Amino acid sequence: MKGNGENLTIKSMNIKQQLTNIFSGAFERAGYSAELGTVTVSDRPDLCQFQCNGALSAAKQYKTNPMSIAEAVCSALTEEERELLTVEAVRPGFLNISVSGALIAERLNAIAADGRLLMPKTDAPKTIMLDYGGPNVAKPLHVGHLRSAVIGDALYRIAAFLGHRTVSDIHLGDWGLPMGLCIQWIIDNNIEKFGNGELNSIYPAATARAKDDAEFAAKAQTVTRELQQGDEYYYSIWQRIRAVSVEDAKANYDALNVRDFDYWYGESTAQTDVDEVITRLEAAGLLKEDGGAKIVELRREEDNEPVPPIIIVKSGGGELYSTTDLATIIQRERDFAPDEYWYLTDQRQILHFKQVFRTAALGGFSGAEFTHIAFGTVNGADGKPFKTRTGGVMRLSDMISEVREKLPDPRVAVAAIRIADLQNQPTRDYKFELDKFTAVEGKTGPYLLYTAVRIASVLEKADGVPAAGTYTAPASGKESSLALALDSAGDAVLRAFAEKAPSAVCDCLFEIAGKFNEFYAENRILTEPDAVRRNSWLALLAVTRRTLVTLLGLLGVEVPERM
């Protein structure tokens, strides 16, 4: 355990970690194990800033009275440590801890002086393959595609910020029967030129026709198969369809500030590896004949719910969504050798990914860690999946337009949409409420932007940001709360990464903005007569703004100069 006196240690650790270090040492000196010294943020902020419950666990472990352990730990603190904090042992054995203004000031000045605001970077970078977006060619993006794009994009930014090697692939749905349907329709109707508008009516028209016209349906199936086998004419039409759809998807993603994908691969890209999937599964003795189809059994003793077999080859030939996903794993292993795979789709695909992951493991395709981040649905005010006023599927582009009507600045609109989504745990459903999400009050994107913009205008009026090292110490409880919230931002980013949930970053943003607005309401910063105090506050404001901008950036939200 390092002493707290070393500059380097102080710099790299937030206050909570420094306290954990101090209390681990004190527990040890008092004769108990160091792990008991874990310090957490207080759940009674009216009493103290931090707490340690180690004496209560120690009491069970060592069969002693918790209160006397807590007192012994307090007495074991060194004189130097006592200068940094106040601690009180309270019944039945809690340690209530608060830190000195000097410690807060030291940390805040260190944060102010660091380009990354002392947010940690990993020393064990991993290669993370992120599969999100996933729109389907020839079909317009709908509101269901919002979450995959927005959560995936935020996770990408968070992982990259922490120093991991990130690879994104949109994995377009560009290879199944919808392709054959569109191609056959385009041929039948002699369509020479088409843009996205036409394409979006071609697909529903062709699907409807296939329902009542068996001959058309059969032809579309043949076209699909021949396309997959490399027919050049069909392939040339397919390429145009794909290009039009990609352009449309890009426009939607641009409007949401989703960063460009590293790879615009799709189900089609995986075709060259489909044979390899079959060969490897066969070699591993896993492929079974089942009524003309080829399957892999996936049942396991420990399953609560049986996992049905995965179909690798349909009876009558032709591969499936699952086969393509397996082939894609082979391709990704070859091209990127990821340590982890993160897939983002809605919860209806939970079983699909369970089957794919199991098969990949059984077949020895990859030793990586596979995670399906399965998110909930975006609902309308009625609690059912979000629809248009006439009851149709809500297009993503229409949803964006509705928000833009209320919030013409694209950055503010992006903030409204993304923060509305990202503040929820990915697994939870949420209701899309236009008025609520676009308001400047409440837990919204515009509220966060407004807070950052307001700080910028104070700093501007004050003629800029004071030099690092100007922060003195908090002058009130509200001010300490703000400073400690800023100090916890790095933890929030780590938690978002560990839990694969950008909502942790969102929570931290609301915490900081809330604490800032409370602090700001009680102080007149620009007219403060004491120049030292005024500069100290301006330094605090500067760190607040940079933290907000940095965290918002991790969620793909940019802050405008004015609002």
Residues at the interface with ligand ARG (CB under 6 A): 131, 134, 136, 171, 173, 325, 343, 345
Instruction: Select 74 or 146, whichever has its Cβ closest to ligand ARG.
Output: 146
Using alpha carbons only, what angle is made at residue 213 by residues 209 and 216, rounded to the nearest 5 degrees?
Answer: 80
Shortest spacing between CB 434 and ligand ARG, in angstroms: 25
Shortest spacing between CB 227 and ligand ARG, in angstroms: 18
Closest CB to ligand ARG: residue number? 134
**What is the DSSP pairing of strand 293-296 with strand 310-313?**
antiparallel
Shortest spacing between CB 173 and ligand ARG, in angstroms: 3
User: Coil, strand or helix: which one is 199?
Assistant: helix
Greatest CA separation for the chain: 89
E strands present in 308-358: 310-313, 340-346
Q: What is the CA radius of gyration of the chain?
A: 28
> 203: buried, middle or exposed (CB in 10 Å: 19+, 13-18, 0-12)?
buried
Instruction: Select 49 or 269, whichever has its Cβ closest to ligand ARG.
Output: 269
Shortest spacing between CB 298 and ligand ARG, in angstroms: 17
Instruction: Select 345 or 359, whichever has its Cβ closest to ligand ARG.
Output: 345
User: Are the C-beta atoms of residues 118 and 12 closer than 8 Å to each other?
Assistant: yes
With the C-alpha atoms ordered 459, 460, 463, 464, is the resulting torsion angle positive or negative?
positive
What is the rounded CA–CA span in Å between residue 296 and residue 211? 31
Shortest spacing between CB 396 and ligand ARG, in angstroms: 12
**What is the DSSP pairing of strand 85-90 with strand 50-52?**
unpaired
What is the rounded CA–CA span in Å between residue 555 and residue 563? 19
Cis amide bond preceding 92, omega within 30: yes
**What is the DSSP pairing of strand 94-99 with strand 50-52?**
antiparallel
Shortest spacing between CB 325 and ligand ARG, in angstroms: 5
Instruction: Select 181 or 453, whichever has its Cβ closest to ligand ARG.
Output: 181
Shortest spacing between CB 345 and ligand ARG, in angstroms: 5
HSE, CB side, 13 Å, CA atoms: give it for residue 358: 20
User: Are the C-beta atoms of residues 480 and 474 closer than 8 Å to each other?
Assistant: yes
Instruction: Select 50 or 386, whichever has its Cβ closest to ligand ARG.
Output: 386
> Running DSSP on this structure, what letter comes out for residue 425?
-
Instruction: Select 20 or 269, whichever has its Cβ closest to ligand ARG.
Output: 269
Instruction: Select 132 or 471, whichever has its Cβ closest to ligand ARG.
Output: 132
Instruction: Select 106 or 333, whichever has its Cβ closest to ligand ARG.
Output: 333
Shortest spacing between CB 482 and ligand ARG, in angstroms: 41
